[in-house]
Chain A
Amino acid sequence: MRMQKLLLPLLLLILITALAACAAPAADTSQSASDAAQPADSSAASSAGEATMKSYEDMVVGYAQIGAESEWRTANTASIKEEAGNLGVELKFSDAQQKQENQIKAIRSFIAQQVDVIGVSPVVETGWETVFQEAKDAGIPLILVDRRADVPEDLYATYLGSDFVEEGRKAGNAMIEILGGEGKIVELVGTVGSAPANDRATGFREAIADTPGMEIIASQSGDFTRAKGKEVMEAFLKTYGDEINALYAHNDDMAIGAIQAIEEYGLKPGEDIKIVSVDAVRGAFEAMIEGKLNCTVECNPLLGPQFFDLALKVVNGEEVPKWVPSEESIFFPDEAEALLPTRKY
């Protein structure tokens, strides 16, 4: 019994230290944020007098990032930070750890610090009206990056992000070219209901609609993951076997999983079954070099340069469109080897 009495406090102690360890980094960031607040106030005060055009050097940007949930996001963050350093922009960066309340807090603190412009990737689509209105009232323009928010258009300056439908169209056109306009395609869909999955499916179908030889014979969700992509592709191969001419995967990870399944089935990915996917991550380039992937459509996370270009325009009152599609290209195996070293994600 005595053991038991001792053990409970001990366990509690372990738990508390563990919790404290978890909480520590968060506390750090909040402190550094408040540290950073003071210089921001002074710079805002000094620039308030002159109503002239701003340049990169005297612009203060607040950026409310979602978190670091994927390689894509990590690359996105790195690009924003790197470009800020290159241009000499004063960047206040906040990581919301996938929580909307953290993002709202970050935006409010940016308003309090009177930054010139706020960039935000809304973690969810809804619930932003109040805080966006606060920013508008404070005269600080907002730029939505990568994800949209479900708010009236006058609450934000512009949206910078991918056109998932266009990505689907590009993939479809590439597929027509690779197959010569005829073939049976299986599709690995992303997470059901997510915007990229819906739009990439729509775009692809639009692109192949006018080519009667192109037929999607099966379509199933692989949840954007390698394991599911492999499992679903295995099942496709068992059911349709050699009928399958091509695979369209909504992201590279599913394609990489499917490549393994195709190899285990005894066919050659990239030759017997042509593969087109979306994202253009490093793994896709490695696969293209090995000749196992035929094409990948870029979904560009390196939005830093475009973001700051837009930010400056918005701050200086220039007209910008409500939606600026991010610059994206499409890659084929012949250039993969040369490009791989330059890929950052």
Chain B
Amino acid sequence: MTSLSRGWERIRNAGLFWPLAALALVMLFNLIFTPNFFRLEIKNGHLFGSLIDILNRGAPLMLMAIGMTLVIATAGVDLSVGAVAAICAATATVLVGNVTGATNMPLWEVIPITLGVALLCGLWNGLLVSRARIEPMVATLVLMVAGRGIAQLITGGQIITVYYERFFYFGAGYLLGLPFTLFIVAGVMLFAWLMTRRTAIGLFIESVGTNASASFYSGINEKNVKLLAYVFCAFCAGIAGIIISSNVKSADANNVGLYMELDAILSVVIGGTLMSGGRFSLAGSVVGALLIQSVTTTIYAFGVPPEVVLVVKAVVVLFVVLLYSQPVKVALDKLSRRRGVRA
């Protein structure tokens, strides 16, 4: 019996357990209370249903969470991802232009230019943090505030609508019956995983996050490690921006990615990465993002009155985050141990 309870303890302390458990709870709730939530059907040659919606709508958040994980692992934070998404959405739509059925510039130019803009934003954040030594929260706050202004400048304060069929593929297209956004997320995830787990970069990031000066003295170029994290984070946000604008066929500089930086940080925290930096879990962050999107979709599908949506979200988040807190963990350990002893 003790070995069983110890096994349970090990499962409970495994990295992905709590986010997956919370996700399972939300799904269980839907199984009982939301009709048709799990119905999957094939419509117009692709899979169709609430679950697909969660994956599809959650894609921008998953991308931001992947990027944010690396930044938080270096003991930083990037508040500008929402604004970077807005800048990139604005850039992409302005380059495509609102010409009916056509584009001003071929897509193979639009996408690299847009992502180039994202990289510039990341470079700005990264230089401020790694070279100018500004607190990450303050440094990225600059672009969070200014970014929306820049996006407004790009769009001229208007909502830019695009009418180019191929551009819509990024956010609303389907490949092999699945949303194309999923393949983008999978691609970025694979890249991030290979970069951090198959090269030394992952270890560098963890060591810089744990103790930057010790890493420096052991020969790690901690400045460039930080710079890389911010550039990659902005890159992810840029892709998210393209997906968002492509999905709604327009860019609204005021609203693209609004408050998404907070959701992205929350995803990372739910995924089990500590805000103080160090060890990180990319998969955990993606599960965290899925959890947040599931809660949102559930709220819409279940019909929660609009006035209390935010409260419901907050309660769910509070519940999940409480599970992580040390005192609660200790209490849970005690509880299960006592039960183990009795048995």
Beyond A11-B127, A219-B306, A231-B296: 10 further Cβ-contacts under 8 Å? A7-B131, A8-B131, A11-B128, A11-B132, A69-B157, A219-B305, A220-B303, A235-B53, A241-B36, A260-B248
Residue pair B157, A74 in contact (C-beta under 8 Å): yes
User: In the complex, how many angstroms separate the beta carbon of B217 from the nearest chain A beta carbon?
Assistant: 15
User: In the complex, how many angstroms separate the beta carbon of A134 from the nearest chain B beta carbon?
Assistant: 32
Interface, chain A (partner B; CB < 8 A) = 4, 7-8, 11, 22, 68-71, 74, 189, 192-193, 218-221, 223, 225-228, 230-232, 234-236, 238-239, 241, 253, 257, 260, 264-266, 283
For A238, give its contact among B49, B132, B309 (CB under 8 Å): B49
B5 beta carbon closer than 8 Å to chain A: no
> 8 Å CB contacts to A: which residues of B10-49?
34-37, 43-44, 48-49
B247 beta carbon closer than 8 Å to chain A: yes
For A266, give its contact among B44, B133, B303 (CB under 8 Å): B44
What are 20 contact pairs spanning A and B, CB under 8 A?
A7-B127, A7-B131, A7-B132, A8-B131, A8-B133, A69-B254, A71-B159, A218-B303, A219-B306, A220-B304, A223-B255, A227-B255, A231-B297, A235-B50, A239-B34, A241-B36, A253-B252, A257-B248, A266-B44, A283-B161
Rounded to whole angstroms, the CA-CA distance of A4 and B133 in the bound complex is: 10
Interface, chain B (partner A; CB < 8 A) = 34-37, 43-44, 48-50, 53, 57, 127-128, 131-133, 149, 157-159, 161, 172, 244, 247-250, 252, 254-256, 296-297, 300-307, 309
Rounded to whole angstroms, the CA-CA distance of A283 and B244 in the bound complex is: 19
Most buried by A among B35, B37, B252: B252
Chain B: CB-nearest residue to A8: B132
Rounded to whole angstroms, the CA-CA distance of A324 and B133 in the bound complex is: 57
User: In the complex, how many angstroms separate the beta carbon of B146 from the nearest chain A beta carbon?
Assistant: 8
For B159, give its contact among A189, A192, A232, A253 (CB under 8 Å): A253
Rounded to whole angstroms, the CA-CA distance of A223 and B309 in the bound complex is: 12
Rounded to whole angstroms, the CA-CA distance of A300 and B36 in the bound complex is: 41
Rounded to whole angstroms, the CA-CA distance of A71 and B157 in the bound complex is: 7
Chain B: CB-nearest residue to A222: B306
Rounded to whole angstroms, the CA-CA distance of A219 and B308 in the bound complex is: 12
B37 neighbours in A (Cβ, 8 Å): 238
A260 neighbours in B (Cβ, 8 Å): 172, 248-249
Residue pair B44, A235 in contact (C-beta under 8 Å): no
Rounded to whole angstroms, the CA-CA distance of A257 and B37 in the bound complex is: 22
For A234, give its contact among B53, B161, B255 (CB under 8 Å): B53
A70 neighbours in B (Cβ, 8 Å): 254
Residue pair B57, A231 in contact (C-beta under 8 Å): yes
Most buried by B among A193, A231, A235, A264: A235
A11-B127, A189-B306, A192-B307 given; A226·B250 CB < 8 A:
yes
Chain A: CB-nearest residue to B149: A22
For A226, give its contact among B133, B252, B301 (CB under 8 Å): B252
B301 neighbours in A (Cβ, 8 Å): 235, 238-239
Rounded to whole angstroms, the CA-CA distance of A74 and B297 in the bound complex is: 34
Rounded to whole angstroms, the CA-CA distance of A221 and B133 in the bound complex is: 42
A11-B128, A227-B247 given; A238·B303 CB < 8 A:
no
A234 neighbours in B (Cβ, 8 Å): 53, 57, 300
Chain B: CB-nearest residue to A11: B132
